[in-house]
Structure formats: C-alpha cells, structure tokens
C-alpha cells in the first residue's frame, strides 16, 4: 500500500507540471524553441533540422523524467527519490542562467520575457519537494512506510542480485557516457556530427547538447536509485522498457536520416546496440523475477 502523504502528492504535482510544460515542445518543437530563442536562427535547412531535433529530444527527456516522478509516487516515494526533482530542477535552472547570462548568451538569442515565468516555476518546483520531505519525515507512518520499503528492497536485491547489478551497470554506463557532454558539449558534437554548423547554430547546439546530456545523466541516476531502492519493479520495469524503445527508435531514426542531419553512423549504431542489449536483459530479468 502506497503511503499517500505530502511526498506522494508532491511527486504527482511536479511530475504533471513537468509533462505539461513539454507538450508543445514535443508537438511543435521548432515553434516552441523559437518562442524561447527567437534571435539569430539559421536559414540553412540542415541546421534547422538539427536544432529542431535537439529541442524535441530535450522535451521528450523532460517528459520522461516527469513520468518517472509520477511512477515514483506509486512505486517508491522515499525521501531520497523524492528530493531528486529538486536537485534536477536546481541544476536545470543553473544551466539556464548560464545560457542566459554566461559566455554563450551572445549567441543564444534568449527571450528573457519568455524564460522568466519558467524560471519562477522552476524555483517553486525546487522548493516543493524539499518541503514535502521535511513535512512527511515528521509523520511516524511515513517513516514506518519508508523503513518497510527499504526492507523489501533489500530482500529483492538479495533474491535477484545478478539482474539488479546488470541494470545498475547499464544505468551507470549511461551516467559515464553522458557526463563528458555536460562539461564539453562542443567536443561531444564533434563525436556525433560529420560537419559543423555556422557559429551561432553551433553555439546553440552546444548548449542544447549540454542541457540534454545533463538530463540524460539525471535520468540515469534516477533510474539507478529506483533500481536500488524500490520494493519491486512492477511499475519501473515496464517504464524502463518503454523508455528504451523510445531511445532505440531515436537511434534508428538518426541512422536512417544521417545524411539529412549530418550524423556519424558508428556512434548511433553503438548506442542502438547498447540500448537493444539492455532492453533484452531488462525483459528477461523482469520475466524471471
């Protein structure tokens, strides 16, 4: 039985708001991106395609993290996982401010009028999970529920150790694979694209790459925490499989359309193999556990 306290409703609320803010960006990525970065946009078709794809990927990742929050409310509303949204939104806010006021700002063409309401909402979404954990930690029933979740989680890890460590290794790999792009996004772009874009587009791509990679790292960390803390995987397991199918489809799309977008095929093929392999391992592990 899920403890429906303040943490539960906080995860639901933050998750729903996270998803709602991505819907237009998923449905109309170019139009949505232009509302936040209306200046210094490219005319070249390939550059427009690249920026549109990066923005769409970013919104999809945000939506997946929002879905993870809602799933966590039902699967494992522990204090540690409940604080994840606060940490993610805090770093997301910091990266946004760097893009707006740091060295890349002269190339980004950010509309402050469009971004400020989102920054205010971000602050609220940082504070809300923290408050929820503080409040629920004073509730003896919540403390008892978290202790029970931990005991069940420990028992599950003892019973299905190889599967747990396999998936932990997969999530850890994606943390390590995406971390360099947070610190050196321009270098990451060189690894994935066969040709560079114009200066302004390249800078936009680099910052979108940084923000994308940051969210991929946080998503992998969240999945790793879920694997180690959840009492069972009846909710997380199917969610991970669906997310893996999204990433597999994305890599297939990038490979098929490599000429149009300028992608290098080998890196896309490598990640497609990794995602496919991990999906198979995940499916087998879920069926056997």
| pLDDT tens digits in sequence order for the chain, 289 residues long | 566 789 999 999 999 999 999 999 999 999 999 999 888 788 888 888 989 999 999 999 999 999 999 999 999 999 999 999 999 999 999 998 998 888 888 888 888 888 889 889 999 999 999 999 999 999 999 999 999 999 999 999 999 889 999 999 999 999 999 999 999 998 888 888 877 677 778 888 899 999 999 999 999 999 999 999 999 999 999 999 999 999 999 999 999 999 888 889 999 999 999 999 999 989 888 887 7
- What rounded mean pLDDT belongs to the chain? 91
Neighbours of 45 (CB within 10 A): 9
Helix and strand numbers (H, E) in the chain are 15, 0
Longest Cα–Cα distance in the chain: 60
Alpha-helical regions (H) of 184-264: 185-192, 199-229, 236-256, 258-261
Rounded Cα–Cα distance for residues 93 and 146 (Å)? 30
pLDDT of residue 109: 83
pLDDT of residue 257: 93
Could you say which DSSP state residue 231 is in?
A: S
Decide if 42 contacts 51 (C-beta within 8 A).
Answer: yes
Rounded Cα–Cα distance for residues 62 and 23 (Å)? 10
Rounded Cα–Cα distance for residues 56 and 59 (Å)? 5
Rounded Cα–Cα distance for residues 143 and 136 (Å)? 8
Decide if 93 contacts 119 (C-beta within 8 A).
Answer: yes
Render pLDDT for 51-74 as a digit per residue (tens, 0 to 9). 999 999 999 999 999 999 999 999
């Amino acid at each position: 039985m899920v403890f429906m306290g303040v943490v539960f409703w906080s995860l639901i609320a933050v998750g729903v708001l996270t998803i709602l803010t991505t819907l237009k960006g998923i449905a109309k990525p170019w139009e949505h991106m232009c509302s936040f970065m209306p200046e210094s946009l490219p005319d070249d078709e390939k550059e427009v395609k690249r920026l549109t794809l990066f923005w769409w990927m970013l919104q999809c990742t945000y939506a997946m993290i929002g879905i993870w929050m809602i799933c966590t409310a039902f699967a494992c509303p522990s204090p540690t996982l409940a604080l994840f949204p606060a940490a993610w939104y805090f770093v997301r806010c910091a990266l946004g401010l760097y893009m707006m006021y740091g060295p890349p700002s002269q190339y980004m063409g950010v509309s402050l009028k469009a971004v400020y309401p989102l920054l205010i909402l971000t602050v609220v979404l940082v504070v809300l999970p923290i408050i929820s954990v503080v409040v629920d930690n004073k509730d003896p029933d919540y403390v008892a529920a978290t202790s029970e979740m931990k005991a069940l989680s420990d028992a599950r890890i003892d019973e299905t150790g190889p599967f747990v460590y396999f998936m932990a290794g997969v999530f850890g790999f994606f943390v390590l694979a995406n971390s360099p792009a947070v610190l050196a996004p321009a270098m990451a772009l060189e690894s994935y694209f066969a040709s560079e874009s114009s200066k302004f587009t390249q800078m936009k791509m680099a910052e979108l790459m940084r923000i994308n990679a940051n969210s991929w790292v946080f998503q992998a960390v969240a999945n790793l925490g879920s694997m180690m803390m959840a009492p069972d995987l009846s909710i997380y397991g199917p969610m991970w499989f669906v997310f893996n199918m999204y990433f597999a489809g994305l890599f297939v799309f990038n490979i098929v359309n490599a000429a149009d977008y300028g992608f290098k095929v080998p890196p896309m093929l490598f990640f497609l193999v990794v995602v496919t392999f991990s999906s198979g391992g995940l499916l087998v592990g879920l069926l056997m556990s």
